[in-house]
Structure 1
Amino acid sequence: MDPSSAKLSLKEKIGYGLGDTASNFVFHSVNVLLLFYYTDVFGISAAAAGTLFVVARVWDAINDPLMGALADRTHTRWGKYRPYLLWLAVPFGICGYLAFANPQFGESGKLVYAYVTYFLLMTIYTAINVPYSALMGVMTPSSAERTSLSSFRFVGAFSGQLLISMGALPLVKKLGEGDMATGFKYTMALFAVVAVILFIITFCTTRERIQTAVEKQDKVSIGKDMLFLLKNRPWVIMVIAAILTLSNAAIRWAVTPHFFKYYVGDDGTTVFWFLDRTSLIMTTGSLAFIAGIFFTGMLSRRFGKRNALIGLTILNALSLLAFYFIPPSAYSTMIVVNAIGSFIAGPTPALVWAIYTDVVEYGEWRFGRGTPGLAFSVATLAQQLGIAVGGGMAGWLLHFYGFQANQLQSESAISGLRTLFSLLPGILALGNGLVLFWYPLTESTVAQIESDLAERRGKLAISNDEPPTKAMLGEAPN
């Protein structure tokens, strides 16, 4: 039977998607709020925070590939990747809370505490998110189903981001009763509990079905696995694109609260329902993003994943650049432009992660070596590197432009905020779109890879005196 018929149940797709909701309850809070928390609440300078974001990625450069290789070599009755969702859900929640716990230390003590808690959080994030990402590659052999599964994943991811956009700052205000430090602490405690519960649901509702070539070759060294990845041209291109994508997103995320507080003039006053200006624009952007995700399948079928991703990336870059020309008084225009750009960007994460599963299968097809955990771990590392570069640049450039927390900003600082919120992310997004022109895998090539691997996996099972499973033969599981 054709691999495209290997359908996953709606329950399993929703369950998998909730895993990224869990991840984003902590991780997106870090991306959007941590620099603001460090500078305006905890009392760390923007430059010191920027350095922290970059230094932490030195450890990630070691930690991420090791985690991927470890996951590829894990053998349990639950599979290779699913167990980590159960084992690490609680540590992930605890570390997310500790990053915003606001202990009463002196200046040096605060900086040490920030380093320790941020390093711990990024380590646990890697240890749970790399297996979670790799899990998508072994749930079904069908590229079309993985594209659908990726859409569910990012509906879950951006639903989490929507809830953070809507609720984080209002909750900080409500739970802190005017004390932002207390508000952040209680808000993150709540988010951490939700994240733990959702990761456990993902563990309970998903299954691993695909046996990759690495199953029979666990003695091959990590170094040789890395060489296989570096020979995988489509994978290398996607890693470069990931760095550019997350750099532009991280810069914008990091300075969003600063931009609206100091440039637009958001003083925390409610402007719609319970939302202030910052929360409202993040909420409408998240809603538009989620709406865009539902067009992923249509765009993929109509243009192919590669072409759709290139077009959407360039259009989104233009929307980012347009923000530079919007005056602070035109808040309604900002909402509209942000919503349009977010809607255009909506399908891109699902397309990217669906393409990652294609390039992993290309590696197995081309080199006879399937390493989903390692491939996804380095892809995750590339994204974290992008976030580090973006977050570091945001902190350093805020300092360079003369930003001073909780003060009236200079003309230079205001100009810097506009650049960081618009021009720099837009330029990086354009660069990402150009890089993707070199991505070589067409839809027909992916279909051929699916067919060849289905046949190869069936022969692998037979050669090891094991009856081929339906998933190995490309058939739908019961």
Structure 2
Amino acid sequence: MNVSQKLSVTEKLGYSLGDLAANLIFQTLVTFLAFFYTDVFRIPAATAATIIFVVGLLGAFVFTPVVGLVADRTRTRWGKFRPWVLWTAVPFGVLSLLAFSTPDLGEGGKVTYAFATYTLLVLVYVANNLPYSALSGVLTGSMEQRNSLSSWRFVAVMVAQFIIQVLLLPLVLLFGDGDKAHGFHVVMTLFAVVGTVFFLVTFFTTRERVVPDRQQASSVREDLVDLARNRPWRIMLAVTVLVFVNLALKGGMYIYYFKYYLSGAALTDFLDRIGFERFVTGLDRLLVGMGLDGFHWPQDAPTSTFSLFSALGIIFMIIGIGCSKRLADRFGKRNVFGGALLVSTLFLLAFCFYPPDAIGLVVGSYVCHGFFYGITTPLLWAMIADVADYSEWKNRRRATAIIFSAMLCGLKIGLSIGGALVAGTLAFYGYRADVAVQAPAVVDGIRLAVSVFCSVPFLLAVALLSRYEIDKPMESRIERELDARRLAGEGA
């Protein structure tokens, strides 16, 4: 076997469909779970926040490390990580539907149901997504092929993000005929069926090629000691936390930026000039003509512009992802990641200087930010797979899943910190939800949050990457020496 074997288009596509399936649910949880609990299932907001926070902690500090340790010790005829995608495909779909169902229960029953279904969904999500992520590190020993695989994977992620952030609420209203509970049930049923099928496709189209020495045996303690001594891993863990702090902070603040900072009249004029309202009206007429209910797009200008803003950002992120592999192959992942992250941050900082009526500049800067951030998106996870190779190269023991589990913990920690910073920033500046016009200090705080505050984590990440030692020459050396070891092991 040649562990540097080039992956086929079928295998790359099959693998990427697994991330599309997972992100149909993950993006829905991140973006709409609180809304679903409070506005659809009618759970008190404080109780809903407690459920989300507690289950999030369980996912980060209990489920993720346990699954990582177990997955690294899994032995089947299908490999270590592929079987987990198969085993969790149907439970993931069923629990996704149950978590967004609205059984007729009393208040206490609703809370118990929400906590139980969300806990089980997070457990199955971790049992699916952690081995799925680790699978990228064992499909091939070629770091160049991993760059390509990550690009395919994150195009699929962006497709899922587009569906959720731009189309989910209109689809809920469309399929539910105005009934959000029924609409969520129909949409999540669709997502569950599609996701289950896509996970099965991932299982049947992929093959694990990087197989540890059968005589390798390491204890949990040894795995953890290897992690602690692995400086590239420590750096990538910190970078992962910082990146997701940024994503949660800016993602949570943008809706306030559009609603309270940008001029409503300027937003309406911008939508009129680009023909957006005419497009939505035409789409509505087309659906009615097909015998379907109208396309219930939100009518207020801030929400409509925000949806367009998100859609354009995702489209240009996909374009950036498409450029990522070629740049990384030429200059190395570390250099491209750090450079693109720095440039994307400059476009975020520009938001600090735009007046409320500069809608075109706001959208243009976000498009440019999306393009350069898109370049970095697949590189983060490809670099984590490289860290697993680095650990094997240094220690002669491979522990792929525990490395990925630590990164997923970092992801969850970053999202938790970023989400808390949204609420904390609003509270610090005196935000009041019961007023239509916020105080000038609040508006200024929102402007700073989407520009200066959310740029700080990215700038810190860029500084850390300067100390990340796996550059292009080291990538080639690690790949070459590990390939030789594996071939020698097979010969023996």
**In 1, distance between residues paired with 2:10 and 2:40?**
41
CA deviation map 1:14-54 (0-9, x unaligned): 11111111111111122223344455555567666555544
Partner of 1:426: 455
Shift of 1:148: 0.9
Partner of 1:207: 207
Partner of 1:26: 25
Cα distance 1:35–1:342, how it changes in 2: closer, same or farther (>3 A)?
A: farther
Partner of 2:491: 462
Q: Which moved more, 1:349-358 or 1:386-395?
A: 386-395
Cα distance 1:414–1:176, how it changes in 2: closer, same or farther (>3 A)?
A: farther
The partner residue of 1:223 within 221, 224, 227 is 221
- DSSP 3-state at the match of 1:454: helix
Cα distance 1:45–1:420, how it changes in 2: closer, same or farther (>3 A)?
A: farther
Asked whether the 8 Å contact 1:321–1:426 carries over to 2, the reply is yes
The partner residue of 1:281 within 281, 300, 309 is 309
- DSSP 3-state at the match of 1:357: helix
Shift of 1:393: 2.8
**In 2, distance between residues paired with 1:112 and 1:326?**
46
The within-5 A match list for 1:73-472 is 73-103=73-103, 112-213=112-213, 215-218=214-217, 220-261=218-259, 263-264=261-262, 271=277, 273-274=279-280, 276-398=304-426, 401=429, 403=431, 408=436, 410-411=438-439, 414-463=443-492
**In 1, distance between residues paired with 2:105 and 2:443?**
31
Asked whether the 8 Å contact 2:144–2:329 carries over to 1, the reply is no
Asked whether the 8 Å contact 1:228–1:363 carries over to 2, the reply is yes
Asked whether the 8 Å contact 1:300–1:308 carries over to 2, the reply is yes
Shift of 1:112: 4.9
Root-mean-square deviation (CA), in Å? 2.9
Paired AA for residue 476 in structure 2 = A
Shift of 1:245: 0.4
Asked whether the 8 Å contact 1:39–1:405 carries over to 2, the reply is no
Asked whether the 8 Å contact 2:249–2:422 carries over to 1, the reply is yes
Of structures 1 and 2, the one with the larger relative CO (CA 8 A, separation 6+) is 1
Unpaired runs of 5+ in structure 1?
Answer: 464-478
Paired AA for residue 242 in structure 2 = L
Cα distance 1:406–1:170, how it changes in 2: closer, same or farther (>3 A)?
A: farther
Cα distance 1:235–1:285, how it changes in 2: closer, same or farther (>3 A)?
A: same
**In 2, distance between residues paired with 1:322 and 1:313?**
15
Cα distance 1:257–1:23, how it changes in 2: closer, same or farther (>3 A)?
A: farther
Unpaired runs of 5+ in structure 2?
Answer: 281-296, 298-303
Q: Which moved more, 1:340-349 or 1:323-332?
A: 323-332
Cα distance 1:117–1:38, how it changes in 2: closer, same or farther (>3 A)?
A: same
Shift of 1:181: 4.2
Cα distance 1:420–1:193, how it changes in 2: closer, same or farther (>3 A)?
A: farther
Partner of 1:15: 14
Paired AA for residue 241 in structure 2 = I
Partner of 2:291: none
Asked whether the 8 Å contact 1:51–1:396 carries over to 2, the reply is no
Shift of 1:288: 0.4
**In 1, distance between residues paired with 2:436 and 2:113?**
29
Cα distance 1:204–1:403, how it changes in 2: closer, same or farther (>3 A)?
A: farther
Asked whether the 8 Å contact 2:335–2:471 carries over to 1, the reply is no
TM-score (norm 1): 0.87
**In 1, distance between residues paired with 2:488 and 2:16?**
32
Shift of 1:199: 1.3
Cα distance 1:48–1:417, how it changes in 2: closer, same or farther (>3 A)?
A: farther
Q: Which moved more, 1:322-331 or 1:131-140?
A: 322-331
CA deviation map 1:233-260 (0-9, x unaligned): 1111001100000111122233444544
Partner of 2:290: none
Shift of 1:216: 2.5
Percent identity of equivalent pairs: 40
Asked whether the 8 Å contact 1:26–1:93 carries over to 2, the reply is no
Cα distance 1:360–1:415, how it changes in 2: closer, same or farther (>3 A)?
A: same
Cα distance 1:145–1:406, how it changes in 2: closer, same or farther (>3 A)?
A: farther
**In 1, distance between residues paired with 2:434 and 2:192?**
28
CA deviation map 1:136-190 (0-9, x unaligned): 1111111111111111111111121122233112212322333444433433332
Cα distance 1:191–1:258, how it changes in 2: closer, same or farther (>3 A)?
A: farther
- DSSP 3-state at the match of 1:380: helix
Shift of 1:354: 1.3
Cα distance 1:272–1:64, how it changes in 2: closer, same or farther (>3 A)?
A: farther
CA deviation map 1:338-394 (0-9, x unaligned): 111000111212111111111111100101110111111111111122112222333
Asked whether the 8 Å contact 1:35–1:254 carries over to 2, the reply is no
Partner of 2:294: none
TM-score (norm 2): 0.85
**In 1, distance between residues paired with 2:120 and 2:37?**
17
- DSSP 3-state at the match of 1:295: helix
**In 2, distance between residues paired with 1:396 and 1:51?**
16
